[in-house]
Amino acid sequence: MRAMRIHEPGARLRLDDVPAPEPGPGQVRIRVAACGVNFADTLMTQGKYQLRPEPPFAPGGEVCGVVEALGPGVERPALGARVAAACGWGGFAEAVLAPAAACVEVPDAIPSDEAAAFLVAYGTSHMALDWKAGLRAGETLLVLGAAGGVGLTAVEVGKLMGARVIACASGPEKLALARSRGADHLIDSSAEDIREATLALGGADVVYDPVGGEQFRAAMRACRPDGRLLPIGFASGEVPQIPANILLVKNLTVIGFWWGAYPKLRPERVARSARQLIAWRLEGRLRPHVSDRLPLEQANEALDLLRTRRAMGKVVLIP
């Protein structure tokens, strides 16, 4: 099979011809129809992510495809089933191994590129907002990076949960995309003071932050008392240091959330979330936005779209 692999941290990926992997106990092999590209993949190729596989390896942690081989002890999903799966890495390839428990069957009504862009981004937003932050109807949700792969899904999921959504992104094109997904208020991070603009709207009960850096600090100071902050990622390149005195005075809670831990730690919760999200998608209540579809051999270009923050919505590779 073909795979786009990293051979040394920080180098460009190379197209390799390698044997298809054989599934072990509890695993399945999936013939990849599409692979979602995430900011985590850019970090993994640099050796800066929580998961650090030994090179050479293919990045790519979420795929959609057809199950073509079962490991020992696996009964479901069945051979030939069309599934979306969290695989950790390996998805930038024509076939990949995934835990059987992390596979979710995908209805034919959902195209493969959408399904490959669905599990991690929507799963992150749904589980973070619902399970971790306990977002309630009528509360105000501030979403930073609101036109990015996960930020845009937080806008949609927050609206479905009944929140008033403030979307923060850079420039009119990105803000228009956030508005199209239900944002009630818009803040241009390239031209406005995030703290002042949020406070002018009454402050935030929950902050969803895939950006980090100065934007996190501004949002923290725009929280209402008893606010909850979700650091989802650090696309700015800066991990913010959190002053405990502000947490104390405003009774704030910072809730770390890494979706990638839960396919192993709580696979039943991931599956439950995925079923809810797929139901919403089939009802037309979610509209995944895939901005770029690239062939497998253009994986480096796909990663560059995320590194430079030019992507809006999701980037997907098609083997």
In the predicted model, what is the mean pLDDT of residues 255-274? 85
Confidence of residue 154 (pLDDT cuts 50, 70, 90): very high
pLDDT the model gives residue 237: 82
Residues 110 and 274 sit within 8 Å (Cβ to Cβ): no
The answer, yes or no, to whether residue 311 has pLDDT greater than 80, is no
Confidence of residue 37 (pLDDT cuts 50, 70, 90): very high
Residues 83 and 108 sit within 8 Å (Cβ to Cβ): no
Report strand pairing: 314-318 vs 290-295. parallel
The answer, yes or no, to whether residue 313 has pLDDT greater than 80, is no
pLDDT the model gives residue 39: 86
The answer, yes or no, to whether residue 18 has pLDDT greater than 90, is yes
The answer, yes or no, to whether residue 264 has pLDDT greater than 80, is no
Strands of the chain, DSSP E: 2-5, 14-17, 27-37, 62-70, 82-86, 95-99, 103-105, 140-143, 164-169, 185-188, 204-209, 223-231, 253-254, 290-295, 314-318
pLDDT for 203-242, tens place per residue?
999 999 999 999 999 999 999 999 999 999 888 888 989 9
- In order of 122, 146, 256, the CA distances from 274 in angstroms are 8, 21, 20
- Of 49 and 131, the structure prediction assigns the larger pLDDT to 131
* Domains of the chain by start residue, with CATH: 2-118+288-318 (3.90.180.10), 121-259 (3.40.50.720)
Task: Give the span between the Cα atoms of 144 and 161, in whole angstroms.
Answer: 18
pLDDT the model gives residue 287: 87
Q: What is the pTM of this model?
A: 0.85
